[in-house]
Each structure stands twice: as C-alpha cells, then as structure tokens.
C-alpha cells in the first residue's frame, strides 16, 4: 500500500520525519513537501500559473522524496499527477507543529494539503500535535498508524478529510480517540503594528510580541475541549460550505420581484 506524506512545515520538519519513520515498515512511503515553511497557506495553489522547482531529497526508509518550491496543496497536486509514477492509497499531511482545531482549520496549510488529496480522489488525513513544547511526535504518529486502517476501510473516505489533533503527551497518558466537531472562537482579531511612512503610505504587520488570547466558545464534543481533556480529537471535514439551516429562510428571496 502506497502512502504520500506531505506537510506545511517543510521537508526538514521533525513531524514529517517521525511520521515517515513510523509508517515505513508497513507501507511504501513517498514524500512531497514544501522546500520551506508554508504554514497558514490554507488551500492556496500556484500550479496553474507558474513553474515550481523540485529537488530530490534523501530520507531514510522512504521510497522517494521531493522538496518542492510551492504550497502544500501544490505538493500534493504534483505528486498525484505524475511526479511519482505510482497511484496512492492515501495522503497524510503532517505531523503539524501545532494545533489545527476550531477555525485555525481555515488557515491551515496542513489541512489544505489534505484537501487537495481529497479533491484528487484519494483518502486524506491531516494530523497535528497540540501543545506548547510539542515534543511527543511519536504519539501523533502512532495515532495515525492506529486509525489509518479503519479510515481506509470506510467506503466513504474520499468524501471528507479526517482531521486529527493529538495532545502533546506520552502515549500512555492519552485517554483515547474522540469524535469531535469544530470549536468556534468568539474573537479572532489580533494586535497589529502600523508604521507610517508618509501621509498616504504605511506598512502593516501583526505584532508577534503582543500577547493575544482567543476567547473560544466550547461546543458539545468540540475538538479543543477534547484535546484539552487528553483525548485525540478526530473530525471529518468537507468543503461543502452551504449553511443548510439557513436555506428555508433564504427561499424567501425567490418572492422578491426583480
């Protein structure tokens, strides 16, 4: 069985190497990952408007690996469309250095790469390690190894991304898996720095030195709460962004003369 591993932290990220090392004895592992850090690129792509350089990388135990000067989603697209002369049974994006829960998912290059795999018709997983120190990558890798056969056995696995968030704990301290929905933050604003160059021009940046705590609303079975309680949060994601609960109210616009 052939597995494509990618990420958004770059080809040299520890999480990617640990994941590959954990899976290489049971699967044929291939890697296509960004040549440099590409966090928060979401599902952005460049493959339809530019040529991206790719360089072979040597990673022990991996069948073949490439570092690509593109986005995480670019890497998956190139990998499944001909860079490797194989058909993949699964795409796994990660292990991300940090959480991808609640609306962080919207910004996530890790999830974006898995989304590209799903759109290409391949069962796809995104996996992230949550916590401040982020040292227990082996725990997250074992979580993927454990759940992967169950995910591949699901006949509907091409219709969603399996998003996995793992507490940064030793394996023996994990309480188990928990099916979870997205928690929602109440406020996602951040402090910014404004540098005035003249009356008509300024530079804008986010001030990384100012502390900002997101106020999160916990919902029943939310992913943030699950991880905080010591569980591995497992969330099925899809790209159908229609708010079906609003459709009946929206039908009233059909009565508006135009």
Q: How confident is the model at residue 193 (pLDDT cuts 50, 70, 90)?
A: confident
Tell me how far apart the terminal alpha carbons of the chain are, to the nearest angstrom.
56
Report the pLDDT value the prediction gives residue 197, as an integer from 0 to 100. Answer: 95
Supply the pLDDT for residue 54: 96
Average pLDDT on 172-186 reads 91
Give CA–CA dist 146/159, Å, rounded: 21
pLDDT, residue 192, reads 84
Strands (E), 143-230: 161-167, 176-179, 184-185, 192-198, 201-206, 216-217
The DSSP code for 80 is I
Give the closest residue to 124 by CA, choosing from 161, 98, 97: 161
Put residue 121 in one of left, alpha, beta given phi > 0 → left and psi -120 to 50 → alpha. left
pLDDT at 191: 82
Query: What does the pLDDT read at residue 213?
Result: 63
Q: Is 173 exposed, middle or buried (0-12, 13-18, 19+ CB in 10 A)?
A: exposed
**Is the bond preceding 95 in cis, omega lying within 30 degrees of 0?**
yes
pLDDT digits (tens, 9 = 90+) for 58-109: 999 999 999 999 999 999 999 999 999 999 999 999 999 999 999 899 999 9
% of the chain at pLDDT higher than 70: 95
Higher pLDDT among residues 242 and 188, named by residue? 242
Other CB atoms within 10 Å distance of the CB of residue 38: 26
**Long-range Cβ contact pairs of 238-241 (< 8 A, separation 24 or more):** 238/159, 238/160, 238/161, 239/115, 239/118, 239/119
């Amino acid at each position: 069985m052939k597995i494509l591993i990618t990420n958004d932290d770059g080809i040299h990220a520890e999480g990617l190497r640990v994941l590959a090392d954990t899976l290489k004895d049971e699967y044929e592992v291939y890697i296509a990952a960004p040549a440099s850090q590409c966090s928060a690129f979401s599902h952005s792509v460049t493959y339809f408007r530019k040529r991206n350089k790719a360089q072979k990388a040597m990673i022990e135990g991996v069948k073949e690996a490439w570092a690509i000067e593109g986005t995480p989603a670019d890497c998956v697209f190139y990998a499944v469309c001909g860079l490797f002369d194989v058909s993949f049974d699964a795409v796994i994006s990660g292990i991300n250095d940090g959480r991808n829960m609640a609306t962080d998912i919207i910004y996530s290059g890790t999830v974006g790469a898995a989304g590209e795999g799903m759109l290409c018709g391949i069962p796809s997983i995104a996996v992230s390690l949550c916590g401040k120190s982020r040292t227990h990558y082996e725990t997250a890798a074992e979580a993927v190894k454990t759940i992967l056969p169950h995910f591949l056995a699901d006949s509907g696995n091409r219709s969603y991304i399996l998003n996995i968030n793992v507490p940064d704990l030793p394996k023996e301290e994990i309480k188990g898996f928990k099916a979870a929905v997205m928690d929602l933050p109440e406020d996602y604003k951040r402090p910014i720095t404004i540098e005035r160059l003249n009356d008509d021009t300024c530079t804008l940046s986010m001030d990384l030195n100012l502390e900002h705590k997101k106020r999160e609303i916990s919902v029943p079975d939310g992913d943030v709460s699950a991880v905080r309680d010591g569980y591995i949060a497992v969330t099925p994601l899809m790209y159908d962004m229609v708010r079906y609960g609003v459709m009946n109210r929206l039908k009233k616009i059909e009565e508006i003369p135009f």
